[in-house]
């Protein structure tokens, strides 16, 4: 095991950092000006010990937060965003829980991890990779996990470690709350027959915050902070909340601010839905066949679950401050991927629309970031690993495939010519500040080009327009080289018979092996459609 690095930084490093911090900021893009207070970060104090790290990950959370302009009550995350740098264009490398977490926690792309489903362990392809927490652990840090950090099937794996990575952690805690048992006849399910880990199911629960799994996650995180705050050994504590992953369970009080009749659903029309090719979809039929009222119920439950999760984040951040460790702890708030709420007729994730691929990303690094700063630059989840090691003063891990965001933490509008790459089976997408370009099976099925300056909802595909041929060529060159898998067809839900055709495991042959324990989409509730006689 690598020995603990020295706590005091060299005078040469300190002097170089002081010069870097004194450099002037590049002006922000028009319309996205960085507030004046972000122009001159305070000089970094000499560290008597390495910076701690508090990594907070929500599950299935798109940037549908107050601080990102969404009509959702998230006062704690909003306040945290005002204390650091909020990235406006942060993207996952694979918009699905297992592949995304395997990617950013190993610092490598999905083509490297070879994880493109919810069951493949990343150590099958990367047996000796050092994960982000493991790298800190081998450099002398206490590393603790509470809740969902690596993939867990929800709700099945709640209360267990799921397919965790033991070398990454000093200590783990697996809370389980009353929401885990809500599927026992309590859930209100708008898509019966789909497993609970994907179903549009929800519950305005009678239980208190502290009885829910996320309430217990926050309480365990507070206990872990208290146990480590006074020690000389630095800590890396990862706190994984389960909401707003379905089933969307939260105490009743969090539903009250969201009257169901006032919930806005995606502004799609029959014409816009008819223009969406099947190969871009994860599910059929559009909107699972839900009525407008049912869609409003899910938007409401997603908002309520987000507000509940926000309250638990606030408890953890308040305790960090009470302990006085906010002054020497890097805090990151993010999610594993985005989430569709009816845009293009799709719900959830595992698709290459912007709402599924974009994530919230907020970072506060004492002595480096300034308050009220927003970065308009396009960044990747992959960039978290090298960012945190640099902020902690650790050597760069050579197997990282991302880039450190420290230059943008110091100067949020600094020049940054890097695009974000996102992929799913059969699809590859590149996102810049203005454009999204996507190819399906290397263009054999089709291609898409969207101008986000004029078409932020991605309704007007310009890929075949000869006026944009040069843009297509430029973005095409940014896509990763190499073979692309065949596109997986969308899953088919039958809302009339409340059953699902084509779901993995739905039609397992008699005597076939059961799925591996842990992971997967999670939850019971599956009803497979029986084959009808002709």
3-state secondary structure of 489: coil
Instruction: Determine whether 337 is an active site residue.
Output: no
pLDDT score of 406: 98
Residue 383 sits in the same domain as residue 451 = no
Residue 104 sits in the same domain as residue 246 = yes
pLDDT score of 524: 81
Phi, psi dihedral angles at 236 (to 5 degrees): -125, 105
pLDDT score of 501: 87
Residue 430: which of 475, 489, 395, 381 has the closest Cα?
475
Residue 329 sits in the same domain as residue 439 = no
CB-based burial, 463-476: b 16+ in 10 Å, e otherwise = beeeebeebbeebb
Phi, psi dihedral angles at 86 (to 5 degrees): -105, 120
Is the pTM for the entire model greater than 0.85? Answer: yes
Instruction: Flag whether 27 is in a domain.
Output: no
Instruction: Flag whether 483 is in a domain.
Output: no
Residue 188 sits in the same domain as residue 222 = yes
- Mean pLDDT confidence for 131-147: 98
Instruction: Determine whether 97 is an active site residue.
Output: yes
Residue with token string 């020497």: 328
pLDDT digits (tens, 9 = 90+) for 478-513: 998 889 999 999 999 999 999 998 665 444 333 333
Give CA–CA dist 305/309, Å, rounded: 6
| Catalytic choice (40, 151, 418, 529) | 151
Query: Which strands sit side by side in the sheet containing 283-284, from one edge to the other?
Result: 283-284, 491-494, 499-501
Give CA–CA dist 353/346, Å, rounded: 9
C-alpha torsion 294→299→304→307, nearest 10: 180
Here the CATH number for the domain that contains residue 80 is: 3.40.720.10
* E strand or H helix that includes residue 147: strand 142-147
Q: Does residue 84 contact residue 363 with C-beta atoms inside 8 Å?
A: yes
**pLDDT over 70 (residue 241):** yes
Look at 185-189, 349-353, 516-520 and tell me which has the smallest mean pLDDT: 516-520
Residue 275: which of 450, 488, 502 has the closest Cα?
450
Neighbours of 293 (CB within 10 A): 12
For residue 390, what are the domain limits?
52-419
Q: Does residue 410 contact residue 21 with C-beta atoms inside 8 Å?
A: yes
**pLDDT over 90 (residue 333):** yes
**pLDDT over 50 (residue 18):** no
Instruction: Flag whether 495 is in a domain.
Output: no
Residue with token string 């009339």: 496
Residue 328 sits in the same domain as residue 452 = no
Bridge partners of 8? none
pLDDT score of 49: 65
3-state secondary structure of 507: coil
Between 481 and 326, whose confidence is greater? 326
Residue at which a domain ends, from 456, 478, 500: 478
Instruction: Flag whether 4 is in a domain.
Output: no
How would residue 11 be classed by pLDDT, with cut points 50, 70 and 90? very low
**pLDDT over 70 (residue 27):** no
**pLDDT over 80 (residue 270):** yes
**SS in 3 state form for 422-476?**
EEECCEEEEECCCEEEEEECCCCCEEEEEECCCCCCCCCCCCCCHHHHHHHHHHH
3-state secondary structure of 491: strand
3-state secondary structure of 89: strand
How would residue 50 be classed by pLDDT, with cut points 50, 70 and 90? confident
pLDDT digits (tens, 9 = 90+) for 274-297: 999 999 999 999 999 999 999 999
Residue 410 sits in the same domain as residue 437 = no
Total number of domains in the chain: 2
**pLDDT over 80 (residue 514):** no
**pLDDT over 80 (residue 184):** no
* E strand or H helix that includes residue 321: helix 292-322
Report the chain's terminal Cα–Cα distance, integer Å: 64
DSSP states along 228-270: HHTSSS-EEEEEE--TTSSSEEEEGGGTTTS-GGGPPPP---H
pLDDT digits (tens, 9 = 90+) for 403-459: 999 999 999 999 999 999 999 999 999 999 999 999 999 999 999 999 999 999 999
Look at 80-89, 239-248, 386-395, 473-482 and tell me which has the smallest mean pLDDT: 473-482
How far does CA 50 lie from the centroid of its chain? Answer: 27
3-state secondary structure of 524: coil
**pLDDT over 70 (residue 10):** no
Residue 461 sits in the same domain as residue 334 = no
Residue 301: which of 367, 361, 252 has the closest Cα?
252
Residue 238 sits in the same domain as residue 297 = yes
pLDDT score of 36: 33
Neighbours of 32 (CB within 10 A): 15
Residue 106 sits in the same domain as residue 251 = yes
Instruction: Flag whether 89 is in a domain.
Output: yes
Give CA–CA dist 391/361, Å, rounded: 16
Give CA–CA dist 270/325, Å, rounded: 53
Residue at which a domain ends, from 419, 449, 464: 419
Q: Quick check: bond before 402 cis, omega within 30?
A: no
Q: Does residue 515 contact residue 306 with C-beta atoms inside 8 Å?
A: no
pLDDT score of 504: 59
Residue 204 sits in the same domain as residue 268 = yes
How far does CA 170 lie from the centroid of its chain? Answer: 24
Residue 341 sits in the same domain as residue 413 = yes
pLDDT score of 520: 63
Instruction: Flag whether 5 is in a domain.
Output: no
| Catalytic choice (97, 245, 499, 529) | 97
- Mean pLDDT confidence for 176-196: 92
Residue 395 sits in the same domain as residue 314 = yes
Instruction: Flag whether 332 is in a domain.
Output: yes
Instruction: Flag whether 528 is in a domain.
Output: no
3-state secondary structure of 487: coil
Contacts of 412 (CB under 8 A, 6+ apart): 25, 28, 34, 38, 85, 373, 374, 375, 376, 377
């Amino acid at each position: 095991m690598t020995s603990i690095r020295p706590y005091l930084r060299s005078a040469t490093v300190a002097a170089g950092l002081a010069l870097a911090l004194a450099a002037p900021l590049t002006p922000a893009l028009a319309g996205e000006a960085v507030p004046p207070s972000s122009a001159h970060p305070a000089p970094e104090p000499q560290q008597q010990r390495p910076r701690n790290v508090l990594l907070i990950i929500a599950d299935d959370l798109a940037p549908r937060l107050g601080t990102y302009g969404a009509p959702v009550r998230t006062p704690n995350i909003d306040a945290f965003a005002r204390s650091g740098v909020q990235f406006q264009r942060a993207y996952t490398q694979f918009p699905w829980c297992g592949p995304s977490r395997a990617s950013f926690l190993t610092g490598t792309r999905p083509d490297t991890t070879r994880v493109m489903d919810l069951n493949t362990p990343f150590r099958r392809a990367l047996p000796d990779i050092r994960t982000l927490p493991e790298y800190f652990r081998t450099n002398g840090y206490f590393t603790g996990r509470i809740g969902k950090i690596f993939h867990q099937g929800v709700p099945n794996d709640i209360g267990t470690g799921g397919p965790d990575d033991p070398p990454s952690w000093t200590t783990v805690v697996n809370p389980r709350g009353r929401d885990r048992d809500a599927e026992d006849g309590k859930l209100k399910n708008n898509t019966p027959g789909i497993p609970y880990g994907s179903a549009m199911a929800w519950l305005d629960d009678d239980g208190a915050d502290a009885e829910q799994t996320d309430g217990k996650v926050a309480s365990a995180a507070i206990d872990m902070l208290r146990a480590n705050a006074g020690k000389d050994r630095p800590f890396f504590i990862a706190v994984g909340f389960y909401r707003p992953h379905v089933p969307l369970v939260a105490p009743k009080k969090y539903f009250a601010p969201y009257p169901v009749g006032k919930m806005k659903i995606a502004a799609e029309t029959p014409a816009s839905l008819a223009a969406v090719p099947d190969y871009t979809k994860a599910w059929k039929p559009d909107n699972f066949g839900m009525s407008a009222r049912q869609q409003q119920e899910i938007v409401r439950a997603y908002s309520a679950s987000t507000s509940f999760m926000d309250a638990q984040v606030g408890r953890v951040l308040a305790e960090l401050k009470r302990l006085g460790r906010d002054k020497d702890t890097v805090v990151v708030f993010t999610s594993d991927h985005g989430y569709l709420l009816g845009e293009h007729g799709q719900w959830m994730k595992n698709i290459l629309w912007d709402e599924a691929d974009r994530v919230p990303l907020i970072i506060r690094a004492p002595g480096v970031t300034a308050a009220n700063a927003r970065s308009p630059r396009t960044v990747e989840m992959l960039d978290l690993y090298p960012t945190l090691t640099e902020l902690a003063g650790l050597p760069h891990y050579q197997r990282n495939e991302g880039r450190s965001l420290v230059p943008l933490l110091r100067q949020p509008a600094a020049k940054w010519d890097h695009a974000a790459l996102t992929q799913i089976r059969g699809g590859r997408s590149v996102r810049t500040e203005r454009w999204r370009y996507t190819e399906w099976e290397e263009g054999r099925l089709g291609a898409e080009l969207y101008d986000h300056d004029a078409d932020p909802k991605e309704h007007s595909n310009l890929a075949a327009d000869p006026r944009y041929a040069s843009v297509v060529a430029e973005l095409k060159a940014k896509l990763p080289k190499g073979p692309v898998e065949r596109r997986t067809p969308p899953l088919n839900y039958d809302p009339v018979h409340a059953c699902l055709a084509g779901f993995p495991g739905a039609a397992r042959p008699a005597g076939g092996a059961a799925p591996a324990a842990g992971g997967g989409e999670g939850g019971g509730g599956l009803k497979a459609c029986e084959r009808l006689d002709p």
